[in-house]
Structure 1
C-alpha cells in the first residue's frame, strides 16, 4: 500500500496510507452533501434527513413496520435518539407505535398513510438535492476524484 501525506496537514514524521489520507476527505464530503440535502428537505417539507431515512426504511418493509432497534440501526442512531425521532414523527402523524403481540416489551413503529404521502413528496426533493449537491461538490478540485468514483450518472 502506498503512503502519502494527508492533504492540508503538515507532516509530523508519520505518513498516512492512501486509504488513511482519503478517509477524512470522504467523511467531509458526506458531511457536505448531507448538509445540503438536509437543508432542502427542511426548507421544502420541514422534514429532517433522519426523519426521511426513517420513513424510507419503514416504507421499504412489506408491513411498513420496524422494531425500534431495527429503526435505530436503519437510521444510524442510538436507541435513545431513534425514540426521540419516532416521537417527532408520531406528533406530526407520520408514524405510529404499537406493542408487539407476542412480546409486550417489544415496540414497533409503523408508517401511516400521512407518512407515505409525505415520503412521496420528499423523494423527488431528496433526489434533486442530492444531484445538486453532487454537482456542486464535483466542481471542487478537492473532491472531484471522490465524486467521480461514486456518482453513477
Structure 2
C-alpha cells in the first residue's frame, strides 16, 4: 500500500506542478509558500517556520522567497525583537496570485485523482484517500 501512496503522490505532484507553472508561472513550492503565508495570522512566518511547513530546507526557502520577492508576491522583513530573525511576508499581489491559482490547484487535484483511480496500482490509494476503501 505504501508504494501505491508514494506513486500516487508523485503522479499528483507532477500534474499540479505542471499546471501551476504553465498557467501561473509558479512552481508547486512557491504556490505552497503563498498558501501558508496567506493563511498565516499576520501574513508572515519566520523563514525556518515556512521551511518546516512546506517541507524544504532553509536555504531552499531563502531562494524560493527571493523568487517570490522578485515577482512582487512576498518580501523579507527583520524581526523587531531579534534582528537576526527574518520573516517572509506576503504582499497583496501575492494573496491575489494565490487566490487566482487556487481553483486551478483544486481542479487539477481532483482531475489527477480521478485519472489515478483508473490505474490498478493507484486506485486503492485513491480510495483510501477519499475514504471509499
User: Which residue in 1 is equivalent to 2:7?
Assistant: 28
Map 1:1-153 to 2 at 5 A.
22-151=1-130
Let me know the Cα RMSD of the aligned residues.
1.1
TM-score scaled by length of structure 2 = 0.96
Using the alignment, how far apart are the partners of 1:80 and 1:97 within structure 2? Answer: 14
1:141 Cα deviation (Å)?
0.8
Tell me: higher relative CO, structure 1 or 2? Use CA pairs within 8 A at least 6 residues apart.
Answer: 2
Larger of the two Rg values belongs to structure: 1
Higher helix share: 2
Using the alignment, how far apart are the partners of 1:92 and 1:55 within structure 2? Answer: 12
Unaligned runs of 5+ in 2: none
Using the alignment, how far apart are the partners of 2:31 and 2:21 within structure 1? Answer: 10
Using the alignment, how far apart are the partners of 1:125 and 1:105 within structure 2? Answer: 37
CA deviations over 1:9-35 (Å, ceiling 9, x no partner):
xxxxxxxxxxxxx22221111011000
Using the alignment, how far apart are the partners of 1:47 and 1:85 within structure 2? Answer: 10
Unaligned runs of 5+ in 1: 1-21
Using the alignment, how far apart are the partners of 2:10 and 2:99 within structure 1? Answer: 25
Runs (4 or more) in structure 1 with deviation over 3 Å come to none
Using the alignment, how far apart are the partners of 2:131 and 2:121 within structure 1? Answer: 19
